[in-house]
Amino acid sequence: MEYWSPYVVGIGIGILSWMTFLLSDKPIGCSKAYSRTSGMIERLFLGEKVAEKAYYKKFALEIDWEWMLVLGIFLGASISAILSGQFRAVWVPPRWADAFGHSFTVRWLVSLVGGIILGFGARWAGGCTSGHGISGTLQLAISSWLAAICFFIGGIITAMVIFHILI
């Protein structure tokens, strides 16, 4: 089947979180892996002094559990897309193309800027839609409930502004 019910998917993710708490003593999260990767790439060019940055002393430049998890997401989504015949190169997503045209350059620039802000904001907030949005909220952590609400407030306003629904 191409798609599953969102509730089946959500319950499946919830069960995965039981497994990670039980067998790894860890909640599912993604954004720290990007921070480590970024530092590892920077280290390739600038050498060991990169690892001395205060932030990388806190979150060391190493391949850890969460890094493997993000690599797994990439592979798991590939497998799912291949099995249902959806694996294909898409330059510009259809919904974007309908609103802003088929230019890859424009889409690329907005994705790049969006990605920079997303990566910066995720580390600023100390987590992303997985770490705060799912794992943190299910632990009833106040920080995560606030973060998740702010993710959506910021996201809804931004999307509505660029799609000219607001202003």
Partner 1 sequence: MLKALHQKENFQLGFGFLVGILFGFLLQKGGVTQYNVIIGQLLLTDFTVLKIMLSAMVTGMIGVHLLRSLGLATLHPKPGSFGSVVIGGLIFGVGFGLLGYCPGTLAGAVGQGSLDALLGGMVGILIGAGLFAEFFPKLDKKLLSKGDFGEITWPQLLKVNPWLVIFPSIVVIVLFLLWIEKFGL
Instruction: Kindly identify the residues of this chain, within the stretch 11-70, that bind partner 1 according to CB under 8 A.
Output: 11-28, 30-31, 34-35, 37-39, 41-42, 53-56, 63-70
* φ, ψ for residue 139, nearest 5 deg: -85, 0
Q: Is 145 helix (H, G, I), strand (E, B) or coil?
A: helix
Q: Min. distance of Cβ 44 from partner 1 in angstroms?
A: 12
* Maximum alpha-carbon separation in the chain: 50
Residues 122-151 that bind partner 1 (CB under 8 A): 122-151
Q: Min. distance of Cβ 103 from partner 1 in angstroms?
A: 11
Residue 84 or 101 having the CB closest to partner 1:
84
* Residue 140: exposure state from Cβ atoms within 10 A (0-12, 13-18, ≥19): exposed
Measured at the CA of 76, the angle between CA 80 and CA 30, to 5 degrees, comes to: 135
Figure out which of the listed residues 45, 60, 85, 93 binds partner 1, where binding follows CB under 8 A. Answer: 93
Q: Min. distance of Cβ 99 from partner 1 in angstroms?
A: 9
